[in-house]
Every structure is written in structure tokens, then in C-alpha cells.
């Protein structure tokens, strides 16, 4: 399994901390490497990887001890490795999200009008893709389905991903595909709610307005304290990632408050069953 993006973020954070500890500006570091300040910004924001030659020069500049130097050089090598199952789906998974999700240990996901991607059925996925991409070919459609189902494998196994899903009642009532597809999707939610690593709660209409209402987001958390949380908001304009500690704290605060006004597991499953009955009638 490749952890390149997560490790690149970790290395970027350590290099930024070392630069600040050395009392150097990004411009001074850029001059030392005979590079542009923009390059240093991208390295420290984990937007691009750092070459091994540049890494060694920076560690010399920062006067890093032998033990730390060896550790960061090893981290740099691993951060440059490519691979992972998603490599075969680059055409349908262009962004960095799946790499981050593959290394996360906990995903907090709030959805306002659709089902969480990790809990979608194949038919529901097809209905969503056809709605958002009218000109998609059948081959691309099935590759998108396969990629999403591959992501869902993380919910099972010996060390499963922990998922906390908050779903607005509107998502239960909004028809995704035909009624049969939607019934299958709702039954999938009931099955997922029984998994020990999944917390599924519904935000009922009676909850009224709540923080972030109508604005879905995901918070990714990782096993190592050296890998800070990442938040993602996605819409028609694309993906926007948040890394700043204060911004992340805001997302966590919203998620906690929304959890408080959501139904518990039993009441959530009851509401989902009611939605299935109403759809059948």
C-alpha cells in the first residue's frame, strides 16, 4: 500500500518546523537551493514532493542531527514512492482524496442530500454518475462503480476503517434512480449500521437548522499524531481541502453539534425503515 501523500504531508510539516526553528524565511531557503520561493511553498504545503538532493541540502542547511537526518531521508524516499490500488483508476480518481482516505483510520462524513460514498450501492452509484455526467460511457461508468466499491473494502477486514456518518433525512427521501434502487440503498444503510466500526445517524427534519446545514463535508483522521486531520468540501466547482488547525477545529465543532441533534442508531434505523415502507406504498 502506498502512503505517499500522507508521508509527503508529514515530511512537509517537519521541514517547515525545521525552517522556522532555524530562523529562515522561505525566500532564504529558495536562494540556498537556487530555486523559486514558490517551489518551497509547494514543498511545505505538500503540493509537490521534494527531490532527494534538495532534501539532503535542506537538512544540511537546518543543521539536523544524524539520527533525525537518517529518519527524514528515509521518510523522503518513502514519500516519493508511487502505487496503491487507485493508480489503476487515475482517469476516474484524479484528485488526492482517495489516497488520503486509504491511509485514514477515521472518516467523519456529513451528507445533506445524497448517500455517503462509502455506503453507496452499485446501482445508486450508477444513478448518481449518470445524473452528473450525461456523456459518460458505459466503460467509464463501470470503472467509477468499481473504484467506489474498492474504497468500500476498507470498512471490512481485520483493521477496518472507522466511519461516523451523519445523513440528513432529505437524503433518505430523495429518490436516487428508480424506487427499487433506492430501496436497495436504504437497506444498505441498515446493514452498515450494524457494523461495529460504523456509526450511522440521521439528522431528522425536526432538528431544524443546524451548523453546516446543506453543506456536506468530510474530516479525515490518521493513526499518527504527526499526521494532522484534513477536511474536504466538494461541489460542482471542485474539491477544497482544509489543513489549518483552526479551520479543522471548526469542522469538528460543527460535527459534534450536529451529532447532538441527530437521532441515535435505533431511531435512525427506524426512520430509514419508515422511508422504505413509504417508498413501497
Write down which residue in 50, 79, 108 finishes a domain: 79
Whether 157 shows a pLDDT value over 50: the answer reads yes
Write down which residue in 45, 79, 113 finishes a domain: 79
Same domain flag for 95 and 68: no
Helix (H, G, I), strand (E, B) or coil at 267: helix
Same domain flag for 75 and 114: no
Report residue 1's pLDDT band, with 50, 70 and 90 as the boundaries. Answer: very low
Same domain flag for 38 and 133: no
Tell which residue, 52, 54, 58, has the closest CA to residue 21.
58
Across the strands, what pairs with 109? 165, 218
Same domain flag for 24 and 152: no
Same domain flag for 225 and 264: yes
CATH number at residue 142: 3.30.870
Whether 62 shows a pLDDT value over 80: the answer reads yes
Mean pLDDT of 70-75: 88
Mean pLDDT of 148-167: 95
Q: H-helix or E-strand containing 23?
A: none
Are the CB atoms for 195 and 281 separated by under 8 Å? no
Write down which residue in 37, 61, 79 finishes a domain: 79
Number of domains in the chain: 2
Same domain flag for 28 and 109: no
Q: Note the pLDDT of residue 135.
A: 81
Whether 139 shows a pLDDT value over 60: the answer reads yes
Are the CB atoms for 200 and 98 separated by under 8 Å? no
Same domain flag for 46 and 103: no
Mean pLDDT of the chain: 91
Using the structure block, give the residue that is written with the C-alpha cell 530562523. 23
Q: Does the pTM of the predicted model rise above 0.85?
A: no
User: What pairing do the DSSP bridges indicate for beta strands 198-203 and 162-168?
Assistant: parallel
Q: Note the pLDDT of residue 116.
A: 96
CATH number at residue 63: 1.10.260.40
Instruction: Output 84 or 57, whichever has higher pLDDT.
Output: 57
Mean pLDDT of 187-202: 97
**Backbone region of residue 34 per phi and psi (left: phi > 0; alpha: psi in -120 to 50; beta: other values):** left
Report residue 34's pLDDT band, with 50, 70 and 90 as the boundaries. Answer: very high
User: What is the domain range of residue 241?
Assistant: 87-280
Amino acid at each position: 500500500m502506498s502512503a505517499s501523500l500522507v508521508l509527503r504531508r508529514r515530511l512537509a510539516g517537519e521541514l517547515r518546523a525545521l525552517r522556522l526553528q532555524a530562523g529562515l524565511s522561505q525566500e532564504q531557503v529558495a536562494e540556498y537551493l537556487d530555486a523559486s520561493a514558490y517551489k518551497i511553498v509547494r514543498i511545505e504545503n505538500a503540493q509537490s514532493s521534494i527531490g532527494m538532493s534538495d532534501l539532503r541540502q535542506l537538512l544540511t542547511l537546518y543543521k539536523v542531527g544524524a539520527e533525525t537526518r537518517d529518519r527524514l531521508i528515509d521518510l523522503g524516499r518513502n514519500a516519493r514512492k508511487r502505487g496503491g490500488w487507485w493508480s489503476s483508476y487515475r482517469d476516474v480518481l484524479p484528485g488526492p482524496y482517495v489516497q488520503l482516505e486509504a491511509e485514514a483510520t477515521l472518516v467523519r462524513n456529513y451528507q445533506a442530500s445524497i448517500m455517503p460514498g462509502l455506503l453507496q450501492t452499485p446501482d445508486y452509484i450508477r444513478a448518481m454518475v449518470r445524473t452528473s455526467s450525461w456523456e459518460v460511457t458505459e466503460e467509464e461508468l463501470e470503472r467509477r462503480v468499481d473504484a467506489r466499491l474498492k474504497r468500500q473494502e476498507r470498512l471490512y477486514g481485520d483493521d477496518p476503517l472507522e466511519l461516523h456518518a451523519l445523513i440528513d433525512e432529505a437524503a433518505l427521501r430523495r429518490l436516487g434512480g428508480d424506487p427499487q434502487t433506492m430501496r436497495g440503498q436504504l437497506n444498505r444503510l441498515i446493514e452498515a449500521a450494524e457494523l461495529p466500526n460504523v456509526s450511522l445517524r440521521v439528522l431528522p427534519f425536526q432538528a431544524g437548522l443546524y451548523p453546516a446545514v446543506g453543506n456536506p463535508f468530510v474530516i479525515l483522521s490518521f493513526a499518527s499524531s504527526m499526521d494532522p486531520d484534513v477536511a474536504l468540501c466538494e461541489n460542482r466547482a471542485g474539491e477544497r481541502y482544509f489543513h489549518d488547525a483552526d479551520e479543522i477545529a471548526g469542522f469538528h465543532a460543527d460535527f459534534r453539534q450536529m451529532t447532538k441533534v441527530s437521532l441515535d442508531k435505533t431511531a435512525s434505523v427506524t426512520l430509514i425503515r419508515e422511508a422504505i415502507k413509504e417508498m413501497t406504498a
